[in-house]
Structure 1
Amino acid sequence: MTTSLGTPAPSALEAAQGLRVLTSRLRRRFLEVSDNKELTPSQLSTMSRLKQGDATASELAAAERVRPQAVATHLADLTERGFVERRPDPNDGRRQIVSLTTAGRDYMNGRRAAGNEWLAHTLAEKYTEDERQTVLAALALLERLGQE
């Protein structure tokens, strides 16, 4: 809720700051507990998008809001590492479809599993059942933030 001047309520500002700090800390911890194989955040983001489905380099560039040349560099490195593969687009011979290889998919699944395992163990160790239920209730409320 906002005040009459249109500025966010102090509690909204405090919650926003707390969430930003917490998500940054959690992101760093997830990176620490999963082997990143020296991939850049941009390369990991590209692989994460490809995990959702095949795409062209142009589609990836638009989704990542970067230049096509940047995506081409990421894809070249990921192809060399065996994480992605390219094949001709059956509808347009000038384009290529990019997809994760089995190794790329396995890598992404392993990263996710490692992060989930760490977080589940941490929640079990540091929180009571009642506190975990409170976290679940808060998550249901926070889900609305992602629906915009």
Structure 2
Amino acid sequence: MTERTVTAERVPPAQLAPQLRDAITRLNRRVRQTRPVGDLTVTQLSALTSLRLAGALTPRELADVERVQPPTMTRIVAKLEDRGLVQRTPHPTDGRQVILAATEGGRTVIEQFERVRDEWLARRLVELNEDERETLHRAAEILQKLARA
């Protein structure tokens, strides 16, 4: 057993939790800052991404997913609609509601943003040695497991 392994085994969860949270938060912030020049806000991008992942949601469902109040989501959706990135269709069972979905243009915008972010991260990963990249590969699997819990 290497010293690194012994040290890692001795880190109690209560000590690891804030360290891991901080590292994830900082990396996430840095990745989010890496985006093509454009006038979409982080909030608008997030809403558009949620629609792309979900396929379609009511405005209330989207507000819940994004953890914002419905009036805030109404403004976000209006701006995305104005740009042709989101479309409204009648709800199939409730005439008082609508269903929101990303348009082809909206999906293309998200794909461009994801490509730029992936390229930035790939350039950073090249700077690491093979062992560090393998450790991150394993960490990614573990983080996905934590996210499913």
Q: Same fold (TM over 0.5)?
A: yes
Hey, what's the Cα distance between the residues in 2 that align with 1:27 and 1:140? Answer: 17
TM-score (norm 2): 0.81
Hey, what's the Cα distance between the residues in 2 that align with 1:13 and 1:40? Answer: 35
Aligned-residue CA RMSD (Å): 2.0
Structure 2 counterpart SS, 1:42: helix
Partner of 2:91: 89
Hey, what's the Cα distance between the residues in 1 that align with 2:95 and 2:79? Answer: 23
Pair 1:106–1:99, CA change in 2 (3 A): same
Tell me how far 1:36 sits from its aligned partner: 6.0
Partner of 2:101: 99
Partner of 2:44: 43
Hey, what's the Cα distance between the residues in 1 that align with 2:135 and 2:64? Answer: 38
Tell me how far 1:10 sits from its aligned partner: 5.9
Give 2:58's aligned amino acid: T
- Structural mapping, 1:1-148, within 5 Å: 11-35=12-36, 37-52=38-53, 53-124=55-126, 126-148=127-149
Deviation beyond 4 Å, 4+ runs, structure 1: none
Hey, what's the Cα distance between the residues in 1 that align with 2:19 and 2:39? Answer: 29
Give 2:148's aligned amino acid: Q
Hey, what's the Cα distance between the residues in 2 that align with 1:44 and 1:11? Answer: 37
Structure 2 counterpart SS, 1:139: helix
Hey, what's the Cα distance between the residues in 2 that align with 1:38 and 1:107? Answer: 12
Partner of 1:6: none
Pair 1:69–1:46, CA change in 2 (3 A): same
> Structure 1: which 5+ residue stretches go unaligned?
1-8
Greater share of strand residues, 1 or 2? 1
TM-score (norm 1): 0.82
Hey, what's the Cα distance between the residues in 2 that align with 1:56 and 1:27? Answer: 27
Calculate percent identity across the aligned residue pairs: 36
